[in-house]
Amino acid sequence: AKDYELRQYETAKWVSTVIRGETQKEAMRQGFWKLFHYIQGKNEKEMKIDMTVPVTCLVKSGCTDFKISFFVPFEHQDSPPQPTDSDVFIEERKAAALFVRSFGGFASPEKYADEAEALARTLRNRGQPFHEDFFYTAGYDSPFKLFNRHNEVWYFKK
């Protein structure tokens, strides 16, 4: 469809952390730095790992816990180094079909919420079943990139 796409993602490992009781913006900031320290060597192998995109944030309705994640690079998917920070963990996300809406600009939590609502409205209007109680935000650019930015919101297909 012109305003969203349906993607199939394979099973993959992500390094994640959950930030509780903060605003989404503050959770993203704290979570990003915890994960950044992990890829900079705060792991059992003291190994530097390449930064990957997207950086995702799990947003659940009515919940102030946010799970921030980095994709584990392909060369480390089989055995990612274990985090040494007890707040950071490796998770395996199962293969899934996702409805994705893309948009540009600098994405605030409010902008992500608006885009997620627009995607949810479109999916409901088209009779597409999806898990409505949570969505992921996905950011693809460094904060220093000013133009042609790429952001997404994801809903899991039922």
Report the pLDDT value the prediction gives residue 1, as an integer from 0 to 100.
74
Contacts of 22 (CB under 8 A, 6+ apart): 30, 64, 66
Round to whole Å and give the CA distance between 16 and 13: 10
> What domains, with CATH codes, occur in the chain?
5-156 (3.20.80.10)
- Give the pLDDT of the chain (158 residues) as one tens digit per residue: 789 999 999 999 999 999 999 999 999 999 999 999 999 999 999 999 999 999 999 999 999 999 999 999 999 999 999 999 999 999 999 999 999 999 999 999 999 999 999 999 999 999 999 999 999 999 999 888 999 999 999 999 99
